[in-house]
Amino acid sequence: MGTEGKEELIPRAAAAAGFETTISRRKFLILTACAVNGLAALSIRGAWGADAPVIIIENAKGLILADPTRCVGCRRCELACTEFNDGRSQPSLARIKVDRNINFGPGGLTSPVMGGAWGNGVFIQDTCKQCPHPVPCETACPEGAIKADPVTGARVVDAVVCVGCRLCRKACPWDMISFDEESQKATKCFLCHGSPKCVEACPSGAIAYVPWLDLTREVPPRVSVLTVVPAEKAQSCLECHISK
Amino acid sequence: MSKVNGGFAGKILRVDLSTGAIRCEDTVEKYGELLGGTGIGYQVLWDEVPPGTGALEPGNKIVFATGVLAGTGVPCNGRTAITTLFPTCWPRPLVGSGHMGGRFAAQLKYAGYDGIIIEGRADRPVWISIRDARVEIRDARHLWGSGIRRATLEISREMGNDSVVAAIGQAGENLVPMSVVMNSVSHSAGGIGAVMGSKNLKAIGVQGSGGVRIAGDKAEWERLIKFHLSILGGNNQHVVPSSPHPQSEYYNPGSRWVGMPGKRWGAADPPLEINGGLYDLNRIAFRSNSGAFFLGDGAWKYTVRGNGCTACPIRCHTILKVPAVSAKYGIREVAQNTCAGMVFGRSFFKNLPGGPQGETAIEACMVGMHLADDLGVWCNYGQLQRDLLKLYYEGTLKTKIGAEEYASISWDKYESGDPAFLLDILPRVAMRKGELGHALGLGTGGLLARWSIPEETWGKDRATNYWKFGHPKHHANEDDGQCGAIISTQYNRDPQCHSHTNFVRNGLPLAVQKKLAAEIWGSPDAVDAPGNYTPMNIHKAMRAKWSLVRKELHDSLGLCNWMGPWVASPLKERGYSGDDSLESKFFSLATGRQTSREELDLIGEKIFVLHRALTIRDMGDKEMRARHDLIPEWVYNDPAGTPVFTKGTIRMDREDMVRAMEMFYGVMGWDTGSGAPTAQAYARLGLRDVSRELESRNLVPEKK
């Protein structure tokens, strides 16, 4: 991907950000301005180099979509995710996260409206948005360990490349990156190579594997993120986002 | 036990509240032969709690223990067995266990523990915080006097939103024997509250970030889990739906499989129509609706969703939202529970406007859940409510409490079926207020003794459901003839066994049940239709043994005996058979220790016999047949005088029950004269040490 010119990158980036029609470079930049403000503000022009990596990756083809009205809080999705993939029953490792919302809902005890079993009886499933460009976890990774799966487009952690720095965890606004303390590697939803175990395991049909849609615009962030962009990647951002 | 590679978390936590000492023990090394759950509980009581210890004395211990399969994806796990000397067991406390579901068991495993042994007594109110390896005894003085809800929320603020808290309410604090410990809103274990209260222990909060290792091949594990899901029915493993459906050959109105396409969660937002096929694995969670099963179709419109234990697709704790109760009674409009917990409030009333499934009945249930699950009052399977009904309507109560107290109680509301009565009566019990509150909180045995009422008065009245030792029947002869009656004699509280009833009430036609019975227990004669019994035979005794063994196995593996075993299925293509070896297959894969069905059943039997030995030791009496395995008089009578072994009566025959007990002792390998295990029976199960200890106390029957 690294050899393409920046003019060719724009339509590709637009598609990766969820825009389906051809748009102008200017419009694209306006639309994504908010997302990249943090990057531009870093003022790291000095770090530019000729071989900087391009951080625009192919959009995912699908994602896991949750229906909270159906969720019964049984955690079979979390368990299917880790048992069938990792051979361990370990929800802290799961790439779908329900348990943290079961007691009081996503807002916890500080929320004015208490959700969950102790509140309004609604359970919310947290799923990976398979973010469009700029992909926060992928952008944050200093090793380039997070890539698009060639088949599903899922953003996946290459465990061979991952060094366990956990910067991706800090970058995800929805707190969807898990960390395996045993292997010291990050892990995230990889859509089970196109046949998600959680979807198959759900006893109430509360999650579905659907064509990709941009949930980053629909679901409010769960945590505030630490925007750390490796210098060489920031350069890549500026290739498109700042006029020379 | 030989080395195992998975299943167990690996450690048992031991917390001495007197000294503040916190230690860990190796589960497999010390308790592996007894699996977990009640197995560990009985062993700890046998080793460490001397006979004659009082239930509320510091010398009593509480063993919270789960099992190998808890915290995994095995359907219907999630159980924690809590074993202690039971304060409601009368006339003396004996070993008993309460069982709670919810999210506690899984969380405890993820924190790295298979169980917690609580000993001693703190000098002030405390709670225990468990966050993985970090375990602390914390001050609970600010929580003392608060209900379970407030205690849980305050502890969650300290620990984090994802913690699971098992807490007692005011009833437990006030040492009311009829009290519970509760986790995850509605998952309680009866009889435990006061024992925790006596130790000044308000709650245990748990957070775990670890996992449970599955030793076997993960693909094989996945296949077995999917197979298990395919043979699941509805709640209590009822394998046919409650009403006709084109996909099902059979239906049975008594089935708890009430949720199916066409029904609707009316209080979901937006309301949710159940769709899909009857057997879709992605629709299993809709099969159970305790609201609709117990309160009628009117409860569908109040149903928000099903809830339940970690990993269980059968959601038996139904969340109901009834907006009217908020203004009427000043309580939350959302509540959840199952079975006896759900109908707690309704069960107080002889009459309710609109009948037992009307709107007032539903409101009574909402008020009951709101109060009982916060105050932490236990109903002892409805015995609390039945006792009050009998005492009041027979006029006894008026003679036992002072006129002033009597006049202060809103009996007009009681008689008219006004749920507001509960706002008066339940705090009395939890706070030990007045003579009535105090007496009701003791449990039936304590109440009868306090008021000098002969136990036979209860034992001959079928309406009380009373069995023995202060406790009621639980799926006895009304469900399963001699088999159910035998099972109800074996424990020191109600038996908490569902292995037998989950089969006879599974909804299949008798002919199909008999075909399955022949395969499992060697003869079609092992089962009768409920209420249409035949004389005792050896196959029924074998089934009683099997039921008890599987109950203890489930309680020691973290599985739910309210759902298992899974020997019948909804699958016509399998001839409706399930799998009698499921437990051992899961155990083998989880631990990596290849164990056959027979081998695992032998461990279940060992655990059951250890309970028997503990009971014999603490009673100081080996004459179990005469003084422990008692059957109340009402079992032998029929209000209409219908003869035994006639369709329509649950009446048992006295001579036949003598034969039934003898056959049961026979298949257990026990002495038929005394009903006590013989030295050989202990030895066969690897309990020689237990046998020697009992022999030294002259509590093992002589060889004949």
Nearest chain A residue to B101 by CA distance is A74
Residue A9 has pLDDT above 70, yes or no: no
CB burial of B392-422 (b: ≥16 within 10 Å; e: otherwise) equals beeeebeebbeeeebeebeeebbeebbbebb
Chain B residues whose CB is inside 8 A of the A169 CB are: none
What CA–CA distance (Å, rounded) separates B559 from B565? 9
Distance from the B185 Cα atom to the nearest Cα atom in chain A, whole angstroms: 7
- C-alpha closest to that of B568 among B509, B620, B634, B617: B509
The two tokens of residue A70 are 């159906």
Q: B72–A122: do the CB atoms touch at under 8 Å?
A: no
In the predicted model, what is the mean pLDDT of residues A173-185? 97
Which of A67, A71, A72, A86 has the most B C-beta neighbours within 10 Å, making it the best mutation to test the interface with B? A72
Q: Of A61, A196, A183, which Cα lies nearest the Cα of A127?
A: A196
Please give the pLDDT value at position A237.
83
Give percent of chain B above pLDDT 70. 99
* Over residues B414-425, mean pLDDT: 98
Burial category of B560 from C-beta neighbours within 10 Å (exposed 0-12, middle 13-18, buried 19 and up): buried
User: If you write DSSP's letter for every residue of B37-79 in order, what string do you get?
Assistant: HHHHHHHHHHHHS-TT--TTSTT--EEEE--TTTTSS-TTB--
Backbone dihedral angles phi then psi of residue B307, each to the nearest 5 degrees:
-135, 175
Instruction: Point out the least confidently predicted range of A35-49, A106-120, A154-168, B646-660.
Output: A35-49
C-alpha torsion sign, points B357, B358, B362, B367: negative
| Average pLDDT value over all residues in chain B | 97
- Reported as half-sphere exposure (CB side, CA atoms, 13 A), residue A244 has a value of 8
Q: Is the pLDDT of residue B327 over 60?
A: yes
For B276, name the nearest residue in chain A, comparing CA atoms only. A205
Phi-psi category of residue B102: left, alpha or beta, with phi > 0 → left and psi -120 to 50 → alpha: left
pLDDT at A34: 40
Q: CA of B333: which chain A residue's CA is closest?
A: A120
Beta strands in B353-476 (DSSP E): 466-468, 471-472
The H-or-E segment that residue B158 falls in is helix B148-159
Contact A123 B311 (CB under 8 A): no
Alpha helices (H) along chain A: 6-16, 25-31, 33-40, 76-86, 99-102, 136-140, 167-171, 197-201, 231-241
Give the pLDDT confidence of B15-56 residue by residue, as tens digits. Answer: 999 999 999 999 999 999 999 999 999 999 999 999 999 999
ipTM score here? 0.96
Among the partner residues B110, B281, B308, nearest to A74 by beta-carbon distance: B308
Task: Answer yes or no: are the C-beta atoms of B37 and B81 closer than 8 Å.
Answer: yes
Q: Are strands B303-307 and B317-321 parallel, antiparallel or unpaired?
A: antiparallel
Could you tell me the end-to-end alpha-carbon distance of chain A, in angstroms, rounded to an integer?
A: 22
Q: How far apart are CA A220 and CA A216, in angstroms?
A: 8
Q: What is the pLDDT of residue A38?
A: 40
Confidence of residue A234 (pLDDT cuts 50, 70, 90): confident
B283 to A203: CB separation less than 8 angstroms, yes or no: yes
The tokens of B665 are what? Answer: 């002792």
B231 to chain A nearest CA, in Å? 14
Taken as a whole, chain B contains a residue count of 704
Q: Do B269 and A122 touch (CB under 8 A)?
A: yes
Confidence category of residue A41, pLDDT binned at 50, 70, 90:
very low
Higher pLDDT: A43 or B621? It is B621
- Weakest-pLDDT range from A24-38, A129-143, A183-197, B298-312: A24-38
- A72 to B213: CB separation less than 8 angstroms, yes or no: no
- The pLDDT of B576-590, averaged and rounded, is 98
Check pLDDT > 90 for residue A3. no
Listed residue (B132, B137, B201) closest to B162, CA to CA: B132
Q: How many Å apart are CA B174 and CA B141, to the nearest integer? A: 14
B641: left (phi over 0), alpha (psi -120 to 50) or beta: left
pLDDT band at A238 (very low <50, low <70, confident <90, very high): confident
Token pair recorded at residue B326: 């908020």
Chain B contact set for A72 (CB, 8 A): 285, 305-308, 315
Residue type, B703: K
What is the mean pLDDT of the segment spanning B114-130?
98
Whether A121 sits inside 8 A of B283 (CB atoms) is no
Measure B103 CA to nearest chain A CA, in Å.
9
Comparing CB atoms, the residue among B103, B218, B225 nearest residue A87 is: B218
Segment B269-274 mean pLDDT: 97
Asked if B340 contacts B384 with a C-beta cutoff of 8 angstroms, the reply is: no
pLDDT of residue A47: 40
Cα distance between residue B562 and residue A136, in whole Å? 46
Q: Please determine, for residue B529, whether its predicted confidence score (pLDDT) is greater than 50.
A: yes
Asked if residue A171 lies in contact with residue A137, where contact means CB atoms within 8 angstroms, the answer is: yes
| Mean pLDDT, residues A128-133 | 96
* Contact by Cβ (8 Å): B55, B172: no
Which amino acid is it at B27?
Answer: T
Residue B24: phi and psi, rounded to 5, are -120, 145
Angle, CA A83 vertex, CA A82 and CA A85 arms, to 5°: 65
Residues in A closer than 8 angstroms to B235, CB to CB, are none
A interface with B, Cβ–Cβ below 8 Å: 69-76, 79-80, 82-93, 99-100, 102-104, 108-109, 117-123, 181, 200-205
User: Whole-angstrom Cα distance, residue B497 to residue B589?
Assistant: 26
CB contact at 8 A, B479 and B254: no
Structure tokens belonging to residue B653:
């025959």
CA distances from A210 to A193, A194, A196, A198, B280 (A): 14, 11, 11, 13, 19
Helix (H) or strand (E) holding A209, with range, is strand A207-211
Q: Look at residue B408 in the predicted model and tell me its pLDDT.
A: 98
Rounded Cα distance, A141 and A121, in Å: 37
Q: Provide the token pair at B353.
A: 């406007």
What is the greatest pairwise CA distance in chain B?
Answer: 71
CA B97 to chain centre: 8
pLDDT at residue A27 above 60? no
Which whole number is the average pLDDT over A36-54?
45
At residue A35, the pLDDT reads 43
Chain A: residue whose CA lies nearest to B218: A87
Inform me whether the pLDDT recorded for B207 exceeds 70: yes
Band (B138; pLDDT cuts 50, 70, 90):
very high
How near does any CA of chain A get to the CA of B207, in Å? 11
Dist CA B408 CA B112 (whole Å): 51
| Residue A206 tokens, joined | 């509360």
Residues ≥6 apart with Cβ < 8 Å to B93:
B53, B54, B55, B60, B85, B86, B87
Choose among B161, B212, B282: nearest Cβ to A88: B212
Average pLDDT over residues B148-177: 98
pLDDT value at residue A228: 78
Confidence of residue A98 (pLDDT cuts 50, 70, 90): very high
Smallest Cβ distance to B73: which of A79, A93, A100? Answer: A79
The verdict on a CB contact (< 8 Å) between A118 and B152 is: yes
Please report, as a single letter, which amino acid is at residue B552.
E
**% of chain B at pLDDT higher than 90:** 99
How far is it, in rounded angstroms, from Cα B559 to Cα B67? 8
Amino acid in the structure at residue B153: L
Mutate to test the interface with A, among B107, B209, B310 (most CBs of A within 10 A): B310
The alpha-carbon radius of gyration of chain A (Å, integer) is 18
Locus of tokens 């999650």: A207
d(CA A116, CA A110): 13
SS3 B220: helix
Contact B321 A83 (CB under 8 A): no
Quote the crossing angle between the two packed helices B359-375 and B421-430, to the nearest 10°.
Answer: 20
Contact list in A for residue B212 (CB cut-off 8 A) is 88-90
Task: Give Cα separations from A69 to A226, B267, B663 (angstroms).
Answer: 32, 10, 52
Helices (H), B199-255: 218-230
Q: What is the mean pLDDT of residues B365-372?
A: 98
Q: How far is CA B372 from CA A114, A240, B142, B345, B379, in A?
A: 22, 64, 21, 8, 9
- Can you tell me which residue has the tokens 């008993």? B96
The confidence band for B84, taking pLDDT boundaries of 50, 70 and 90, is very high
What pairs with residue A180 in β-bridges? A185
CB pairs under 8 A between A and B: 137
Distance from CA of B271 to the nearest CA of A (A): 8
Contacts of A70 in chain B (CB under 8 A): 272, 305
Identify the helix (H) or strand (E) that includes residue B654. Answer: helix B654-668
**pLDDT band for position B237 (cuts 50, 70, 90):** very high
pLDDT tier at A13 (50, 70, 90 boundaries)?
low
